[in-house]
Structure 1
Amino acid sequence: MDRFLALRVFCKVADSGSFSRAARELSMTQSAASRGIADLESRLGLRLFERTTRRVALTLEGRAYYEQIEEHVRALEDAELRAASGFGDLAGRVKLSAPGALGRRLLLPELVRIMHESPGLVVDAALTDQRVDLVAGAFDFALRVGVRSEPSFIERTLGTSPQWLVGSAGLFAGKPAPTSMSELAAVRVVASGGVRDLEKLGLSVRLTTDDIETNLRAVEAGLGVSVLPRWLVARRVQEGRLIRLLPRLALPSPPLVVVYPRRLRRVARQVLERIERHLQKELTFDG
């Protein structure tokens, strides 16, 4: 068995916990799949799986190896799919979910480009901050921020979403911007979450909202400063409309995770691959 196929077998077994299921997905016999894993273990000098009559589970070494290679194997599979399709127009229906603001600001422009290129593509996009049920809603995939809790699905981190503390230029017109937490304590805060944490820091919260775009508009209107995703505010900081405050302040960087079933339809995988590249580029933009 060639190395790439052996790695595909390994990832399929790791994902499904079953040699028979992995073999079916790869259109091979279970014995061939078992031999491929045995050859891989022999080549690596590692035991990758613990096998019992009831289950197959990764060993610690197997888990570490899986985390190193899974994204690379997935990328090679995607490349084969694109080559097999001749890089032609995408066609079919794809249903996806993404957080509201991120979906509108980062995802939708790329979806529009994809759909202009592929007239046969139909997209159902649920842009909401509410957690959707992937099975009940028949979603192909979902983007989530800071969530990794779907054991029956594949979850991959596309990147992180660093947060910046920002205020409007007008808020500090004619006076210096705060350069320390003690100076910041004199400034009102606009928040979309973590209010108690902010108050513990001695900050006074003037407005709370459950929507980060509303939060941003309040900050731009001079109501106060706020912690917002870098992807949402970096261009405004670059343009001078917002000021980044206390850049050395340690703020969370929650992961952006894509969640999808273990068997993802080809058209959905192709759309996801385009979206991933776009989002990874947007997440690294820092002005």
Structure 2
Amino acid sequence: MDRFAELKAFCTVAATGGFSPAARRLGLVTSSVARLVDALEGRLGAVLLNRSTRSVTLTDAGRTYYEEALRILERLDAADEAAADGAAGVLRVAAPVTFSTLYVAPILPALRARHPRLTLDLRLDDAPANLVDEAIDVAIRIGSLDPQSNLVARKLAAHDRVLCASPAYLAAHGAPETPIALAAHDCLQFAFGAGRRTWRLQADDSNADAEDVEVRGVVHANNSEVLRQAALGGLGIAMLARWLVQRDLRAGTLVQVLPGYRVNPGPMDVGLYALYPASRRNSTKIRAFVDLLAEHLAAQDLGDHPSAPSA
């Protein structure tokens, strides 16, 4: 039996947590995937997966083998790219939904034109993806990152947030002139975990201390586009990413509130990043996608957009 097919089947089962999802990803029937993994275990004389009716997990031996097998598949993928002399094959990208609608979708025609042999598999979800477990090549992350030796984090743009409201809301309720005045307004809040109900503001003067302001409001949502629509509808003041509302601000359908302040729900050092495995830093297809996205974001005037990746 094909040893490469065995490795790929095993790694996909381990990444997806089951034979059925692995079969769907590989385009095979479940029984074929099971036979490939059984053949691999039989050839090795070792049990690599714990199987139950509810889940499939790695044994200790399976975890060690999985890490080595992934390296083999990554090296083979790199060799294929080098031989193909250009970006080719399947590139799996995980990214937030609204961001992808606004900034990833528009680059698809150019990506196709530049790299016709590249197939893009987009996984859109606002929850962070696990690159290893989900076999993701590139993940787009928004926020602050802790350095990880096994990942490269390339900053694509700043992730400035702004406070904004519709002209109608401000005409009816007035514009707050100080951070503490936000407490008297309807504030449209992103549904963060742990019931966070504070906004952090810091005057543009870099020596100023940040202020945490308790806010209230009748609309909470775990989707920023919903909050944008609520703000446009005059329901209150929202804290939203500049990349989401800059067109509204330019059109005047939303107005920035407290423009002399930086705002964020937590740490101020946030950005928009492309994450990919350190072992894939020379991947042609990863570089093709990330470079094009970085070019597009730079043209949108979203803030700083350093080009040098960091591990």
Check conservation: 1:163, 1:230, Cα contact below 8 A: yes
Q: With structure 1 as the length reference, what TM-score do the two structures score?
A: 0.62
Rounded to whole Å, the distance in 1 between the matches of 2:294 and 2:180 is: 40
Rounded to whole Å, the distance in 2 between the matches of 1:117 and 1:154 is: 24
Match of 1:32? none
Q: Does 1:234 align with 2:246?
A: yes
Q: Does 1:179 align with 2:177?
A: yes
Check conservation: 1:163, 1:229, Cα contact below 8 A: yes
Alpha-carbon RMSD: 2.8
| 1:198-241 CA distance string (max 9 Å, x none) | 49624322211111111111111111111100111111011010
Rounded to whole Å, the distance in 2 between the matches of 1:202 and 1:134 is: 36
- Which of 90, 93, 99 is 1:93 aligned to? 90
| 1:253-283 CA distance string (max 9 Å, x none) | 5111221112333122212211122223335
Rounded to whole Å, the distance in 1 between the matches of 2:160 and 2:199 is: 17
Match of 1:18? none
Match of 1:255? 271
| 1:6-34 CA distance string (max 9 Å, x none) | xxxxxxxxxxxxxxxxxxxxxxxxxxxxx
What amino acid does structure 1 have at the position aligned with 2:284? R
**Shift in CA distance, 146/181, structure 1 to aligned 2, threshold 3 Å:** closer
Rounded to whole Å, the distance in 2 between the matches of 1:213 and 1:267 is: 30
Question: What stretches of structure 2 of length at least 5 have no aligned partner?
Answer: 1-80, 201-211, 305-311
Give 1:11-90 correspondences, 5 Å limit: 90=87
Q: Does 1:284 align with 2:302?
A: yes
Q: With structure 2 as the length reference, what TM-score do the two structures score?
A: 0.58
Match of 2:159? 161
SS of residue paired to 1:205: coil
What amino acid does structure 1 have at the position aligned with 2:107? E
Give 1:109-124 correspondences, 5 Å limit: 109-124=106-121
**Shift in CA distance, 125/283, structure 1 to aligned 2, threshold 3 Å:** farther
Give 1:184-263 correspondences, 5 Å limit: 184-193=182-191, 195-198=196-199, 201-252=213-264, 253=268, 254-263=270-279
Task: Tell me how far 1:177 sits from its aligned partner.
Answer: 2.6
What amino acid does structure 2 have at the position aligned with 1:204? R
Check conservation: 1:111, 1:275, Cα contact below 8 A: no
Rounded to whole Å, the distance in 1 between the matches of 2:140 and 2:157 is: 11
Task: Tell me how far 1:151 sits from its aligned partner.
Answer: 2.9
Check conservation: 1:97, 1:141, Cα contact below 8 A: yes
Rounded to whole Å, the distance in 1 between the matches of 2:227 and 2:109 is: 26
Rounded to whole Å, the distance in 2 between the matches of 1:94 and 1:222 is: 41
Mean Cα deviation higher: 177-186 or 117-126:
177-186
Question: What stretches of structure 1 of length at least 5 have no aligned partner?
Answer: 1-80
Identity, % of aligned positions: 26
Mean Cα deviation higher: 236-245 or 170-179:
170-179
Where relative contact order (Cα < 8 A, 6+ residues apart) is larger, the structure is 2
